[in-house]
Amino acid sequence: MANQTGNNMRLGIFALAGLITLIFVFFMIGKNKTIFGGNFKIKARFSNANGLIKGNNVLYSGIQAGTVKNVEMINDTTIEVTMLIDRKVKSFIQKNAIASIVTEGLMGNKIIQILPSKGKSGKVIDGDVLATRKMVSIDEMLQTLSKTNESVAGLSAGLEKAVQQFDESPIWKLLRDKETAADLKTAIDKIKQTSINANMFSQNLNTIVSDTKNGKGAAGMILTDTAFAANLSDAAIKIKSAGAQINGLTFELDQIAKDLKNDINGKGFLNFLIKDSLFLNKINSSMDNIEKGTDGFNQNMEALKHNFLFRGYFKKLEKEKQSNLKK
């Protein structure tokens, strides 16, 4: 009989252990899925749900903030997504926050990402509809990148030409002020360097873009990493701005060259010298900007190298380099 009681006790412990495990698991999931609390709803309207389904996570500034309660078609172009938001998080979300549908990690779970915008607009209230941003698609991004790349290449070619012209122009001979001459020379060198760099980057980008388009490597198959996309996007913008600056610079150089010509032809040399220091300052600051731009781009390229998607590609590149060296 005592044995019987012991057995029953063990059975009880066994059954309870199972039950507690189950409850624990439910609790752990419940913590993530906000099923046990919170009926604070906000909405967002998208033109493309991108496969978002009921139960997907909602992140606010990268923090778990709730789940998707419902995905509903409200007319032929608009899909309304209702989100259940955690009590703890809701007080931080502003009315002007922007919702977008992005992919979580690599394995393809869609999530709604809510990001704050600048400026105060008051806390969201139940039933608010957030502004949305179209998700950056990799295809579109690559197209933009490709275009940017072409214009960068065109710009650097133009810049080189301008510099060459400038270099060959007769004003050098007339410039007796050694300091100015040296400064100008460094400036020109910098411009040269920049154009070379820009050329290189554009070539690199070209390879990546074409590789990706041709579906080489893992990247081509699963280019969905949003952080990476943002990086690329940033890079493209910076290249653009650098290009614009270079453009401006070339224009100015051109202008000055013309002025110089005019000077030689008519106006006094002093005039030129006064203009010159201003001009140099301008060139210098422009150069700085270009450098900053290229630095940023460099950093992006570095980030790219470390991005897991391209890791394989860069490793291969390095290997090729080494094997070339050996040869």
Partner 1 sequence: MSMQSLINGSKQFFNETGNIVKFSNRFFVVGTKPGSEFKELLVQCYLIGYKSLPLVGLTGFIMGLVLTMQLRPSLVIYGVESQLPAMVGIAIVREIGPVITALIFAGKIGSSIGAELGSMRVTEQIDAMEVSGINPYKYLVATRILSTTLMLPILSILADAISLFGAYIGVNINSVTSFSLFFTQVFQNLDFYDILPAVIKTFFFGFAIGVIGCYEGFNSKKGTKGVGRAANSAVVLSSVLVFVIDLLAVQLTDLMGFN
Site of interaction with partner 1 (CB under 8 A): 4, 7-8, 10-11, 14-15, 17-19, 21-22, 25-26, 28-29, 31-33, 35, 55, 64, 105-107, 109, 218, 222, 308-309, 311-312
Give the residue among 249, 293, 288 at the shortest CA–CA distance from 158.
249
Give me the least distance between CB of 215 and partner 1, in Å please: 15
Phi and psi (nearest 5°) for 113? -110, 125
Q: Which is nearer to partner 1, 15 or 196 (CB)?
A: 15
Q: Which is nearer to partner 1, 60 or 297 (CB)?
A: 60
Taking phi over 0 as left and psi of -120 to 50 as alpha, with beta for the rest, 106 belongs to: alpha
Q: Which is nearer to partner 1, 32 or 281 (CB)?
A: 32
Give me the least distance between CB of 18 and partner 1, in Å please: 3
Per the CB < 8 A criterion, the answer to whether 307 and 228 are in contact is yes
Residue 271, both tokens: 């005039």
Strands 57-60 and 63-75 come out as antiparallel
Residue 177, both tokens: 């002020």
Q: Which residue type sits at 293?
A: G
Give me the least distance between CB of 114 and partner 1, in Å please: 18
Give me the least distance between CB of 74 and partner 1, in Å please: 20
Q: Which is nearer to partner 1, 4 or 323 (CB)?
A: 4
Q: Which is nearer to partner 1, 4 or 75 (CB)?
A: 4
Q: Which is nearer to partner 1, 106 or 274 (CB)?
A: 106
For 287-309, b/e burial (b = at least 16 CB within 10 A) is bebbbebbebbeebbebbeebeb
Q: Which is nearer to partner 1, 4 or 214 (CB)?
A: 4
Give me the least distance between CB of 19 and partner 1, in Å please: 7
> How far apart are the C-alpha atoms of 184 and 60, rounded to whole Å?
51
Give me the least distance between CB of 50 and partner 1, in Å please: 17
Residue 268, both tokens: 């006094």
Give me the least distance between CB of 104 and partner 1, in Å please: 9
Phi and psi (nearest 5°) for 126? -55, 130
User: Where are the strands (E) in 12-62, listed by range?
Assistant: 40-46, 57-60
CB atoms under 10 Å from CB of 99, counted, come to 23
Q: For 72-132, give the DSSP string.
A: EEEETTEEEEEEEE-HHHHTT-BTT-EEEEEEETTTTEEEEEEE--SS---B--TT-EEEE
Q: DSSP character for 35? A: T
Q: Which is nearer to partner 1, 112 or 130 (CB)?
A: 112
Give me the least distance between CB of 100 and partner 1, in Å please: 21
Give me the least distance between CB of 110 and partner 1, in Å please: 14
Q: Which is nearer to partner 1, 55 or 248 (CB)?
A: 55
